[in-house]
Structure 1
């Protein structure tokens, strides 16, 4: 398998799954090592075939050129089916969440995938849940999600739903959200109400870019995530201790996965280093003595700009 991955992409696969720099002790103790599998290779093989097709790439380039003057890149991908992504296989997902596929039952279980795009990544969770909910700001992508049978919630009002979930996910959304603090607050409220865990992933080092901003045209969020340093390892540490902890999430474990995208004439595939965090909502200490009713309506404090040493 390692040989096939290296042959397809020209990069040693251990760099995809293990941080290239030493992480802090606190982060290392929570690290879960993932590994490549057949589904990963199948995506790369498919991407390689598309990249090598002169006809397909010509159609793609012409289509993007015509549509880019009217639509965003995300909308174009939603209309044309270009730019398919891969983050994890079903087995990698099960391993990370410690799901025993022999005993797991999807009956009446629900998952909510925020910012689901065209549903490619969501699809790998589908067999574990009877009900798959999703949100997406791109109208074209919402159409794709609906066509796949997902229950699409309003992207700006999802936090007000009365549906209880068994898992909430936000893949590569936190650094693309117009208000990361609000997203973390909404995640905490709904995860606490549903008594479920949250999975958050993002490309590290963090690089904010907001494509869909309901507050205006700015591509910058209202407040940047509180991370420092320049390396993947440094940002992992700060995400755990300076972002998730102040937002009242305990990091159960985290892993490194390749965030893969279909290639073009230049590259067989595109790769970005993702960090995936499994989070558990915790009660803020100051509210630990409140009544159950008060706790249910308590909002977590906005993450403070406090740094912990590496």
Structure 2
């Protein structure tokens, strides 16, 4: 029986799990249908409870106003616990990876979550792995991750680790990375060496924005993902064909999920349309150093940044 969300608190959920426009034949063939479940409802209910607490929201607003003169929004969320996110439940994750939970053995298995933020999304993968590794550029978020028992790797040197993983994830990171082409190349190198799959998610249509840039203070990446068109469906197709294929990844399947964020005085919760891709590294036609993903040159005018709350899962 399909689970139905009973309360969405003003959010329109008709297309949370289905694209609004027709997919290309290739994208349709790779599409895996997800659906809401009880954990999704629980997140929405809890978010509404927090957003409806006038005292808590007043304290929050004052705290953000004071801290924002010194810290980034991500660091503030790391210190205060604001801005928690939800992308998938344990059951949604296991179904997407076709994991049989009754026979799955987590012992000895390792997962690496890149740009893990405060670890909220990472936590839903924890039951399936013995060891959880994570990276994060925000110092405040790194402390949060360590307090949860994750092994925190250097965010700039993680690709040089000798650890072999059973899964690598990069949730809502590719469009927030200072160098998408480097991230894709590093993902290929480590996943190929580990012989494991990669999960990449990002909000579509693509809109780049860099909060943590080790090369300077620019909020623009050094290159842009080669996607065309204006719709969610357009960008799904071009991510499969222009980006992942060029980076020597085969898209095994992909799904659409709502990327949810805790609300505030204005809204009980916030929503962004995510595409989640399961990728398999494939042998390149040329050497890995030559097989770099297609990217667009940096335009003279910056790409507009979406007017939505900054997610905690979007750092390098």
CA gap 1:146/1:3 in 2 versus in 1, 3 angstroms = closer
CA distance in 1, matches of 2:295, 2:272: 27
Q: Name the residue aligned to 2:127.
A: 127
CA distance in 2, matches of 1:71, 1:113: 24
CA distance in 2, matches of 1:117, 1:80: 13
CA gap 1:268/1:162 in 2 versus in 1, 3 angstroms = same
**Are the equivalent residues in 2 in contact too, given 1:118–1:145 (CA < 8 A)?**
yes
Give the drift of 1:301. 1.1
Q: Deviations over 1:149-203 (max 9, x none)?
A: 0000000000000000000000000000000000000000000000000000000
More helix by share: 1
Instruction: Give 1:301's match in structure 2, choosing from 280, 286, 291.
Output: 291
Query: How many residues are matched?
Result: 294
CA distance in 1, matches of 2:78, 2:11: 29
Which has the bigger relative contact order, CA under 8 A and spacing at least 6? Answer: 2
CA distance in 2, matches of 1:229, 1:304: 16
Q: Name the residue aligned to 1:2.
A: 4
CA distance in 2, matches of 1:161, 1:300: 22
SS in 2 for 1:168: strand
Q: Name the residue aligned to 2:193.
A: 193
CA distance in 1, matches of 2:290, 2:163: 20
Q: Which runs of 4+ in 1 moved over 2 A?
A: none
Q: How does 1:234-273 map to 2 (within 5 A)?
A: 234-273=234-273
Q: Name the residue aligned to 1:294.
A: none
CA distance in 2, matches of 1:215, 1:76: 22
Give the drift of 1:285. 2.5
CA distance in 2, matches of 1:164, 1:5: 42
Q: How does 1:29-44 map to 2 (within 5 A)?
A: 29-44=29-44
The alignment's TM-score, normalised by the length of structure 2, stands at 0.91
The alignment's TM-score, normalised by the length of structure 1, stands at 0.93
Q: Deviations over 1:247-294 (max 9, x none)?
A: 00000000000000000011010000000000000001246xxxxxxx
Q: Name the residue aligned to 1:179.
A: 179
CA distance in 2, matches of 1:228, 1:244: 14
RMSD (Å) for aligned C-alpha atoms: 1.2
CA distance in 1, matches of 2:268, 2:66: 24
Give unmatched runs, 5+ long, in structure 2: 297-316
1:160 pairs with 2:150: no
CA distance in 1, matches of 2:215, 2:286: 32
**Are the equivalent residues in 2 in contact too, given 1:31–1:255 (CA < 8 A)?**
yes
CA distance in 2, matches of 1:278, 1:36: 19
CA distance in 1, matches of 2:11, 2:179: 37
CA distance in 2, matches of 1:182, 1:163: 19
Give the drift of 1:304. 3.0
Give unmatched runs, 5+ long, in structure 1: 288-297
CA distance in 1, matches of 2:21, 2:111: 34
CA distance in 1, matches of 2:89, 2:68: 31
